[in-house]
Amino acid sequence: MEAWVTLATNDDYAVGAITLAASLKRVKTSKKLVIMITNTVSENVKKSLHGVFDDVTAVEAMDSGDVANLALLDRTELGITFTKVRCWTLTKYNKCVFLDADTLVLSNCDELFDRQELSAAPDCGWPDCFNSGVFVFSPSMDTFNKLVGHAVTTGSFDGGDQGLLNSYFSDWSTRDISTHLPFTYNMVASATYSYLPAFKKYGQNVKIVHFIGAAKPWQVRFDGSGEAIIGTSAKHTQAYLKLWWQIFTTEVKPSLAKNIAVGSFMSSGMSSTYCSSPPPPPQDTRDAWEAGRPDFTGTASFTNIMEKIDKTLKDPTVGATVEK
């Protein structure tokens, strides 16, 4: 049995995970959907998770406690991501692909299950390391125990799961090129700014988008024209952010509403737009959007957003100027 696996250690990431699951269902995956959760996920959100995932598995949280290295990343909250290694305990499955809850699947990727452990895409910040937001693995208690032992004796060079996994699978960069996934299976959204010509050349092949960084899609705010309020370096993620919100609004929010009062959707760290949706495109009325009736069959539809991405990729001016 094979499965996509993700992790939620709080309600915010659970919302991301449900949106991820919706994107996998949109592309008609044939694999099971599994989520690991810790006891910090609320009971009401758990009810929504059970309605979306084939398997909801409670796990005990693990934390690196490595404040010094996490501080170098300016991401002290990442220690809890050590919990990710518990995915190797899911031994009822023989092959799995792990996806971070801040990823979004754009097209069917079931072919990833033909890959071997540990297959992953290079990290754009240090390509001799793999990015642990997407990876192929084979559950095994032996591997899990060795990973825990490695964490105790060696630790993580970045304080999070990526440093630990790269240290354990230390020969990934040189052992076998077949374990190197194309970047299109884990495209860091911000990379569209750092290398625009490559985005224009290969962007139409992107299958999985990864919203790395401290600001997640569910925390994004939008201006009156429907544009995400983000830095200049992230301007090319606009269409992907809108796509995330389109899936959330049409497929995730209704399922959450069955178990949670609308007013309690929003946690202290979540965007104030979480209870509503981004402002509508000019063709829609603000009243319709705020009433939960944006034109998702028209300008805000999944298809039209994907067409906008495709149009951007074909624009001859894209990539004309690249800042380094």
Domains of the chain: 2-182 (3.90.550.10), 187-314 (no CATH)
- Per-residue confidence (pLDDT) for residue 274, from 0 to 100: 41
Decide if pLDDT at 14 tops 60.
Answer: yes
- The strands making up 208-210's β-sheet, listed across from edge to edge, are 103-105, 208-210, 187-188
Decide if pLDDT at 289 tops 90.
Answer: no
Dihedral sign from CA coordinates of 4, 254, 286, 283: positive
pLDDT digits (tens, 9 = 90+) for 221-269: 777 666 777 665 556 677 888 899 999 989 998 888 887 754 454 443 4
The DSSP symbol for 249 reads I
- The strands making up 95-99's β-sheet, listed across from edge to edge, are 55-58, 32-37, 2-8, 95-99, 126-137, 119-123
Q: If you average pLDDT over every residue of the chain, what do you get?
A: 80
Decide if pLDDT at 141 tops 80.
Answer: yes
Question: Is residue 250 exposed (0-12), middle (13-18) or buried (19+ Cβ within 10 Å)?
Answer: middle
Decide if pLDDT at 285 tops 50.
Answer: no
Task: Choose the weakest-confidence range: 58-72, 75-89, 190-204, 234-248.
Answer: 58-72
Structure tokens at 188: 């860091």
| Residue 209 contacts residue 189 (beta carbons within 8 Å) | yes
